[in-house]
Amino acid sequence: MLDAGSGGETLATDQLAGGEHVQIIKLSLGALDTSVLATPGAGNVDTGTLRVTLADDDKAVVALQLIDDAIFVDDTATHATGTTKLMGVGAVATPTDTAVAANDIGMLAMSLDRRLLVDADITASVALDVSAAALVVSITDTSFAVGDGNALGEGVLIQGDDGTDRKNINVDATTGDVQVDVTNTVTVDGSGVTQPVSGTVTANLSATDNAVLDTIDAVLDLINAKLVTGTVIGDVNLGATDCEP
């Protein structure tokens, strides 16, 4: 009982397990005549809500501090191995929704082997180093305009009509001669212009041509033999007189 001077008032208490009574004190921003007890529940940060300051070692505060460690102002911090905290960036593997609209927030895309999918625009000011891996370039144009003093490459790869028999064509740096390394038939159409050929040339003739050359060679051998022995072969015409052996 509490004596207010003109009567008594009953205090609300909570009885403990040992029989002691603990006075209940109301903490509220509402009207004084309400009697709603403070009960545990979900937090609320709305206007008019009683705020409580948490201690620095509270688990929730510590967790928030750890998250804050990964937040940096651009170009104001230096990474330290084993100390600096960073947040990982996730990506969607081969997403089926491949496009987003303007100003939409979207996820990064990656391949099934975890490679980030990007579109690269190579400009003249950026050097592209592909020395460590093979580079496949899709070429659909039938011709390329090359300025004076420029070169397409160290060697130009020419592909056969059947998609095989690829050969490199190089130009000699001193003479400017075209150098072609081939093992099959080479056809040169000079359109009536004499084409100089240096070195040894081996010609494969047909069986008929070989037979004619063999006959000519045999006759020449016979003539040479007769000339050596002084024997006259056949008729010899001296003016209007016929001389026979």
pLDDT band at 139 (very low <50, low <70, confident <90, very high): low
183 assigned to some structural domain: yes
In this prediction, residue 65 carries a pLDDT of: 82
Confidence band for 92, pLDDT divided at 50, 70 and 90? very high
Question: What's the 3-state SS for the chain?
Answer: CEECCCCEECCCEEECCCCCEEECCCCCCCCCCCCCCCCCCCCCCCCCCCCCCCCCCCHHHHHHHHHHCCCCCCCCCCCCCCCCCCCCCCEEECCCCCCCCCCCCCCEEECCCCCECCCCCCCCCCCCCCCCCCCCCCCCCCCCCCCCCCCCCCCEEECCCCCCCCEEEEECCCCCCEEECCCCCCCCCCCCCCCCCCCCCCCCCCHHHHHHHHHHHHHHHHHHHHHHHCCCCCCEEECCEEECC
Amino acid 79: pLDDT: 87
The answer to whether residue 202 scores a pLDDT higher than 90 is no
Per-residue pLDDT tens digits for 24-68: 776 665 666 665 665 666 667 777 777 777 787 888 888 888 888
Q: Indicate the range of 62-66, 151-155, 198-202 predicted with least confidence.
A: 151-155
Is 58 among the domain residues?
A: no
Residue 111's pLDDT band, with cuts at 50, 70 and 90, is very high
**Which of the four pLDDT bands, split at 50, 70 and 90, describes residue 226?**
confident
Across the range 112-125, mean pLDDT stands at: 83
**Domain assignment of residue 219, yes or no:** no
Q: Give the pLDDT confidence score for residue 114 in this predicted structure.
A: 92
- The CA distance from 180 to 199, in Å, is 14
pLDDT reported for residue 35: 59
178 assigned to some structural domain: yes
**C-alpha of 145 from chain center:** 26
Domain that holds residue 180: 155-189
154 versus 133: the higher-pLDDT residue is 133
Is residue 2 predicted with pLDDT exceeding 60? no
Give how many domains the chain has, as a whole number.
1
Which pLDDT score is estimated for 176? 61
Q: Would residue 176 count as lying in a domain? A: yes
Domain annotation covers residue 35: no
Query: What is the pLDDT confidence band of residue 178, given thresholds at 50, 70 and 90?
Result: low
